[in-house]
Amino acid sequence: MSNVDSASDARTANNGVRHQYRVLSDEEKAAMVALKDLGAAFLEKIDALGQSREYSIAKTKIEEAVMWAVKGLTA
């Protein structure tokens, strides 16, 4: 399957769970990209610190926070 940009209106093409999406405004798309970029930067910072159970937990929580923030934005 090909990849679909998360800010694209075609983002429903690779999601089997949510069957209907509303069209996002350009501002909402920009906010979603910004949230994901912040999460990615935080994950990279933690990766640079090394490996530990605590870092793994922190990374999982960051991923979860980004997921919930995007879900709140796109709901």
Tens digit of pLDDT at every position of the chain (75 positions): 466 677 776 766 666 666 677 788 999 999 999 999 999 999 999 999 999 999 999 999 999 999 999 999 988
Side-chain-side CA neighbours of 4 within 13 Å: the count stands at 11
The answer as to whether 6 is a domain residue is: no
Range of the domain at 29: 23-74
The answer as to whether 55 is a domain residue is: yes
Quote the crossing angle between the two packed helices 26-47 and 53-74, to the nearest 10°. Answer: 180
The answer as to whether 12 is a domain residue is: no
| Residue carrying structure tokens 């923030």 | 69
Report angle CA 68, 3, 33 to the nearest 5 degrees. 40
The answer as to whether 41 is a domain residue is: yes
The answer as to whether 31 is a domain residue is: yes
Q: What is the reported pLDDT for 74?
A: 87
Q: How many domains does the chain have?
A: 1
The answer as to whether 61 is a domain residue is: yes
C-alpha distance from residue 40 to each of 14, 18, 21, 28 (Å): 21, 24, 24, 18
